[in-house]
Chains A and B, each alone.
Chain A
Amino acid sequence: MNSITIPDAALMRFRDAATKFTRDASPRASRLLAVKDDIAALRKKGASFRTIGELLTQNGIAASDTCVMRFCQRELGEKPTRSAKRKSSAAPKPAPVANGNATPPAPITKAAQAVFLDNLLSAVPANLSPKPSGEGGPRIARIEFAKPGEL
């Protein structure tokens, strides 16, 4: 078995980086505590982890579906489901930096949070909230009946 030696220069760089490493931002999931109630409301409306993750990301709060799922399990007490074991690659993930460390999550700005909150009510899955005008989505007929004796 041939031995692979680590160049001294590389070893030095790694040890230097390891010494300087600090968690300068809270984990992504804990950042979601700022919008915990809103995520809970979305879950009650049937929004999937992926939908919520995409909504967060679109509004400047990077969060994968897995991140949202774990947050929901830990903070909202949701029980793991079979589908939770599947690995999802649909949600965008932060790009790694050149030295291999993950990009530190950006803090949630008030503006991003406000946009996210504004979008909460309008981003419910279409099958739960059909658009009244029928534009750009399904329109399900809902008949309003007259009260007895009106005709």
Chain B
Amino acid sequence: MKKQLNLILNGKGGVGKSFLAVNLIQYLKDKSIPFVACDSDNENSTLKRFHPDAEFINLAQSRSLDNMFRALERADLVIVDCRAASTDVFLRYFAAIDIAAVLRTLDARLTLLMPVNHEADSLDQVQRMVEAMADHARFIIIRNQVHAESFSLYDKSAVRVRLLKQLDAKEITMPRMEEWLVEGLNRVNLTITAAAKHESFYLLDRQRLVTWQRRLYEQIESTTDLLLPNRPNAKPTHASDAK
């Protein structure tokens, strides 16, 4: 039995970390997969806004990061939405605790979910994390189409070659959502699953949301071997609901 720690991480802001986190957490809830979610963004706690049951990790206190591993003692699956500009914080922390030894002790695996966009900075972060964590983590790259559907920098990068050919990483695509749908969700602080049943959304917009969600869920399900612990359906409800 392997526990699973997933970090949604990219030091570049605005690449879609929290948007992915909100929808990945909703996926786990919709599929009744037990988990603990953590939000580490003290300035924009987007994940907690949409999923108030998410716990908070204060990156200003290095021992607060221990809560990721404490959560792994309570649940087999922990998801952490890492705030922007936190790469150094996590790398220093992993070095201080010897992440490989901790994962071994907890019989856990670490997966880094890294959204990228068309900008060099988001790709630079992937290079950096691969360089530092290749021996300790698995990787899922999320092509976020919110700004552009072209990823030519990433597609031509050496790090992509390494990810796919040496590290067995996976790539998924997060499709672009129409602006008015994003605004609508943010106006009422509803996840797509909730909005799809909510009267404030017109029928066709609810259909658009459901279609978008279905496409993302298909992408997520293509990576469950890297995302979920070995027994993803061991419990009927997610760990946060059990509190």
Q: Measuring CB to CB, which residues of chain A are less than 8 angstroms from any residue of chain B?
A: 133-135, 139, 141-147, 150-151
Contacts and interface: CB of A to CB of B under 8 A. Distances in A.
Given A133-B88, A134-B87, A143 B161 contact: no
Interface stretch (B32-40, B70-78, B150-158, B228-236): B150-158
A143 B158 CA distance: 8
Interface residues of B, number: 18
Contacts of B55: none
Interface in B7-28: 11
Contacts, number: 38
A146 to B, nearest CB: 5
A145 B155 CA distance: 9
B123 interface: yes
Given A143-B127, A151-B155, 18 more contacts: A134-B87, A134-B128, A135-B88, A141-B121, A143-B120, A143-B123, A144-B157, A144-B158, A145-B156, A145-B158, A146-B156, A146-B157, A146-B161, A147-B158, A150-B158, A150-B161, A151-B156, A151-B161
Interface of B: 11, 87-88, 120-121, 123-124, 127-128, 153, 155-161, 164
A151 B159 contact: no
B181 to A, nearest CB: 31
B124 A142 contact: yes
Nearest to B155: A151
Contacts of B127: 143-144
9 contacts: A134-B87, A134-B88, A134-B128, A142-B124, A143-B127, A144-B157, A144-B158, A146-B157, A151-B161
Contacts of A133: 88
B185 to A, nearest CB: 31
B178 to A, nearest CB: 30
